[in-house]
């Protein structure tokens, strides 16, 4: 198991390096001068040149990328010029590690912007994850064990409806009727978990439900399909023939085997959500990573766009790593690959 995890960690490091290099090249090696996108409508030749020096865009692209990687480890100064640091230290802004860049639009270190937005997105994503895993897997098992009967038809029908309705529409319905018209739930507002756990859970509940509805519906169908396939295997019939209790057959033999593809889908879906639940955050006006990325795209704030892409990729890759490790726990045969 140890060497299996080590191999996966090495592949993760290589993948993150490739992703960061590719992202950096796409945005900063393009024909468009990145410095011209740093000041919006107030751009003048003097401002563009000043921002080019401050952000290091006057260096060759490989040098810029090396400084970007160095900033992730030890932090970075903007501008990173020894002469300016010595003569005009008041003009230098230091961004602590891991430094993801500096936004001249917001005049702020990008890492600080990400730190403010990430807990919001993570809260919504984790809330949605818990709701859709519990409801999706549970209802999928119930549907599979009642194949052809009315619980199966009801749950499959509801899952088809849920899967067909976009999450933003569900969010608008919840916000309009549940919170505003019927006042069954307070208007969603984000509160930090450390400040008040109860208000935190209350604030993220409706956005999490809206985000979980579509995923939960797909997991009902996914769990049902894999449970039906697993419960028809020969070893299940053998266990029943030996007199093993039905609950043990379902829990230890059927569900465990069906969990492998479900874990794959769940890990990747969660990683994608942590990268930014854009639509849900827009509907409920939560200033998470999704909202932040939309604002950055509107003003072409490249450092923030690059940071969001890198952070989103990081969570997707790490989710894939967790899935691989869980594979080894669920199915020992995977460790040999």
Cα gap 95→83, rounded to integer Å = 18
pLDDT value for 336: 53
pLDDT value for 335: 54
Task: Give the residue among 122, 113, 280, 144 at the shortest CA–CA distance from 220.
Answer: 144
Q: What is the pTM of this model?
A: 0.82
- Beta pairing class for 93-95 and 76-78: antiparallel
Among 109-113, 120-124, 235-239, 276-280, name the one with the lowest average pLDDT. Answer: 276-280
Q: How confident is the model at residue 1 (pLDDT cuts 50, 70, 90)?
A: low
The 3-class secondary structure across 49-103, one letter per residue, is: HHHHHHHCCCCCHHHHHHHHHHHHHHCEEECCCHHHHHHCHHHCEEECCCCCCEE
Residue 103 burial (C-beta neighbours within 10 Å; 0-12, 13-18, 19+):
buried
Cα gap 317→319, rounded to integer Å = 5
pLDDT value for 334: 54
* Selected residue with higher pLDDT from 274 and 231: 231
- Cβ 308 vs Cβ 114: under 8 Å: yes
- pLDDT digits over 109-146, tens only? 999 999 999 899 889 988 988 898 888 888 888 888 88
**Mean pLDDT over the full length of the chain:** 83
Cα-to-chain-centroid distance, residue 136: 19
Whether 51 has a pLDDT exceeding 70, the answer reads yes
């Amino acid at each position: 198991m140890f060497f299996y995890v080590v191999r996966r960690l090495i592949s993760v490091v290589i993948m993150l390096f490739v992703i960061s290099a590719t992202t950096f090249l796409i945005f900063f090696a393009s024909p468009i001068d990145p410095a011209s996108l740093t000041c919006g409508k107030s751009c003048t030749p003097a401002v563009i040149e000043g921002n080019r020096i401050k952000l290091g865009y006057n260096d060759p692209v490989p040098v810029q990328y090396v400084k970007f990687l160095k900033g992730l480890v030890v932090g970075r100064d903007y501008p990173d010029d020894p002469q300016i640091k010595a003569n005009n230290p008041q003009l230098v802004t230091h961004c602590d590690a891991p430094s993801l860049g500096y936004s001249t639009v917001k005049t702020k270190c990008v890492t600080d912007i990400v730190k403010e937005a990430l807990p919001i997105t993570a809260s919504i994503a984790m809330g949605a994850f818990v709701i859709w895993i519990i409801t999706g897997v549970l209802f999928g098992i119930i549907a599979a064990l009642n194949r052809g009967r009315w619980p199966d038809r009801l749950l499959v029908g509801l899952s088809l409806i849920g899967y067909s309705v976009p999450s933003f529409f569900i969010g608008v319905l919840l916000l309009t009727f549940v919170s505003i018209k019927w006042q069954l739930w307070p208007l969603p507002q984000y509160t930090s978990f450390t400040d008040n756990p109860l208000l935190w859970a209350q604030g993220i509940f409706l956005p999490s439900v809206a985000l979980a509805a579509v995923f939960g519906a797909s997991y009902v169908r996914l769990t049902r399909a894999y449970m039906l396939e697993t419960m028809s295997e020969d070893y299940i019939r053998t266990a029943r023939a030996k007199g093993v209790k039905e609950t043990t057959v379902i829990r230890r033999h059927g569900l465990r085997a069906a969990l492998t593809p479900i874990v794959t889908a769940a890990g990747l879906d969660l990683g994608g959500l942590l990268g930014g639940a854009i639509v849900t955050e827009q509907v409920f006006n939560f200033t998470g990573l999704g909202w932040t990325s939309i604002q950055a795209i509107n003003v072409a704030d490249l450092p923030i766009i690059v940071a969001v892409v890198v952070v989103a990729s990081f969570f997707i890759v790490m989710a894939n790593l967790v899935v691989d490790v869980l594979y080894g726990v669920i199915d020992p045969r995977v460790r040999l690959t």
